[in-house]
Amino acid sequence: MGIIKAVVGAIGGGLADSWLEVYESDSMNDATVFTTGVKVRQGDKRSSNTKGTEDTVSNGSIIHVYDNQCMLLVDGGKVVDYTAEPGYYKVDQSSMPSLFNGELGASVKETFSRVKYGGVPSGKQKVFFINLQEIKGIKFGTRSPLQYYDNFYNSELFLRAHGSYSIKITDPLKFYTEAVPRNATHVDITDINEQYLNEFLEALQAAINQLSADGERISFLPSKGRELSKYMSTTLDEDWHQMRGMEIQAVGIASISYDEESQKLINMRNQGAMLSDPSVREGYVQGAMARGVEAAGSNSAGAAQAFMGVGMGMNAGAGMAGAFSQANQQQMYQQQQQRAAAPQEEALPAWVCACGTKNSASMKFCGECGAKKPEPKPEPKPEAKAGGWTCACGMQNPENMKFCPECGAKKPEPKPEPTEWTCACGAVNPVAMRFCPECGAKKPEASAAPAPEAPKPPRAAFCAECGAKLDPAARFCAECGARVEE
């Protein structure tokens, strides 16, 4: 028993008169995956098969197959022939299976060889149709929050995801034998989706964890539908195709929501990131002071009394507010100086290895040769400018800063102007004297280093007059009183 292509010469109502029976698929909607074949104009008096047996496709009947449909000719529960090519087919119980694949791959023939019916026709013959269109709008939602580690927030967050996905039946013979309930005549995807939805959500958790491992921020997940589809395909397609003959086509995330604790952590992190900007902090301080003054003006006890209290409070907190404001202004000034000193170069989104391969900025090793990404060169410390002072750590600071904000070191005190100078002979003279009154030597220049003292010649060991032995420190001879010559 099988089917062969039918040469149709009659159209419309004449088709029912030309053949014993004409079968088409029952009504299909967007969610229908399987339905039975029904007779066209059943009970029409013009049909020549008025005494046909129920559940038996008469020899010579015509089956009409539309686009994106796979027709299965079933005898006794076993598939005896199929086709996915649109057109008209004649049932021929004496012919071998024709197996018109249409858009289906050759692997369907292998499936047919395992499920085919190898005997003579039995008493139950039926025509079934499987929808080969993309089945869209299959809704999903996580029953419990999914765990997600976000590198940006450096914490474990929990989220819920809602959306829809679509599937496509790629092996209708396998889908019929494994997924369609026995004795079913019409199946929507919602009728059999419970098991598939559980498997889908399990794969969704694995796919979201993969995005976490790739370093994606949790707030970027709604825009990662294509990446999720790819992950889901990698996780599910092989199993679903092998077990049930269907595949994931697309995944669309409609909303991402966080649990209460995760939302608090995100808000706290975002608030801290904003307040790390000194200009934002300065605006917050000034705004708080302005709100306090505004509230005082609307005091029911009288504006004068309120402003008196405000004045007392401001006097008490003026020092603290001033310290906050000064610290903010110092940091803003430093940022301006650093931006002015930093080279205006555009950040490259990628880096080029020595082998010539261009790699993304997040890659730490070259994908072609495995070489490590070169470390960025440290930025040189800015040189001191006029009106400022440079700390020992290399940080340039404004003149009015008394401590270095980088290392906390105190600003060096200026060296006092000298009030006196020491001559090479040892005499200490006032700074106004240009010559030494002791030996007549000239005052050394301020920029010049003091000249080293010339070594004295060795003193004589014996007196030149009387020949007596001299004390090394004596200036006169102890015997004759003669002056000792150097």
Higher-confidence position of 323 and 216: 216
Helices (H), 69-192: 107-115, 172-178
Q: Strands 246-258, 155-169: parallel, antiparallel or unpaired by DSSP?
A: antiparallel
Mean pLDDT of 299-315: 54
Whole-number pLDDT of residue 48: 47
In one letter, which amino acid is 1? M
pLDDT, one tens digit per residue, over 16-33 is: 445 568 899 998 999 999
* Model confidence band, residue 320 (pLDDT cutoffs 50, 70, 90): low
Residues 147 and 251 reside in one and the same domain: yes
The answer to whether residue 95 sits within a structural domain is yes
- The listed range with the strongest mean pLDDT (78-87, 96-105, 150-159) is 78-87
Residues 126 and 140 reside in one and the same domain: no
Distance in angstroms (rounded) separating the CA atoms of residues 428 and 72: 120
Q: Nearest to residue 127, comparing CAs of 69, 170, 44?
A: 69
The answer to whether residue 77 sits within a structural domain is yes
Residues 148 and 66 reside in one and the same domain: no
Whole-number pLDDT of residue 262: 80
Q: Nearest to residue 333, comparing CAs of 410, 400, 273?
A: 400
Residues 212 and 151 reside in one and the same domain: yes
Residues 104 and 222 reside in one and the same domain: no
Residues 207 and 248 reside in one and the same domain: yes
Least confident of 98-112, 142-156, 187-201, 278-292: 98-112
Q: End of a domain among 131, 165, 189?
A: 131
Which residues on adjacent β-strands are paired with residue 4?
90
CATH number of the domain where residue 139 is located = 3.30.479.30
Whole-number pLDDT of residue 381: 54
Q: Strands 246-258, 350-352: parallel, antiparallel or unpaired by DSSP?
A: unpaired
Whole-number pLDDT of residue 11: 44
How many structural domains are present in the chain?
2
Question: How high is the mean pLDDT of the chain?
Answer: 74
* CB hemisphere CA count around 276 (13 angstroms): 6
The answer to whether residue 185 sits within a structural domain is yes
The answer to whether residue 123 sits within a structural domain is yes
The answer to whether residue 224 sits within a structural domain is yes
Higher-confidence position of 124 and 379: 124
Provide the 10 A C-beta neighbour count for residue 273. Answer: 11
Residues 188 and 90 reside in one and the same domain: no
Residues 92 and 163 reside in one and the same domain: no
Does 10 have pLDDT greater than 50? no
Task: State pTM to two decimals.
Answer: 0.51
Whole-number pLDDT of residue 296: 58
Residues 123 and 149 reside in one and the same domain: no
247 contacts: CB under 8 Å, gap ≥ 6: 167, 168, 170, 233, 236, 237, 240, 241
Mean pLDDT of 447-468: 66
Whole-number pLDDT of residue 187: 94
Q: End of a domain among 263, 279, 302?
A: 263
Whole-number pLDDT of residue 39: 87
The answer to whether residue 164 sits within a structural domain is yes
Residues 237 and 253 reside in one and the same domain: yes
Does 118 have pLDDT greater than 50? no
pLDDT, one tens digit per residue, over 356-405 is: 788 877 788 877 777 888 887 766 555 545 567 888 888 888 877 888 87
Whole-number pLDDT of residue 302: 53
The answer to whether residue 210 sits within a structural domain is yes
Q: Nearest to residue 132, comparing CAs of 173, 102, 169?
A: 169
Distance in angstroms (rounded) separating the CA atoms of residues 392 and 380: 14
Residues 153 and 96 reside in one and the same domain: no
214 contacts: CB under 8 Å, gap ≥ 6: none
pLDDT, one tens digit per residue, over 324-361 is: 566 656 766 666 666 666 554 444 457 888 887 888 77
Mean pLDDT of 211-234: 78
Does 117 have pLDDT greater than 50? no
Owning domain of residue 94: 2-131
Q: End of a domain among 263, 283, 300?
A: 263
Residues 90 and 204 reside in one and the same domain: no
The answer to whether residue 373 sits within a structural domain is no
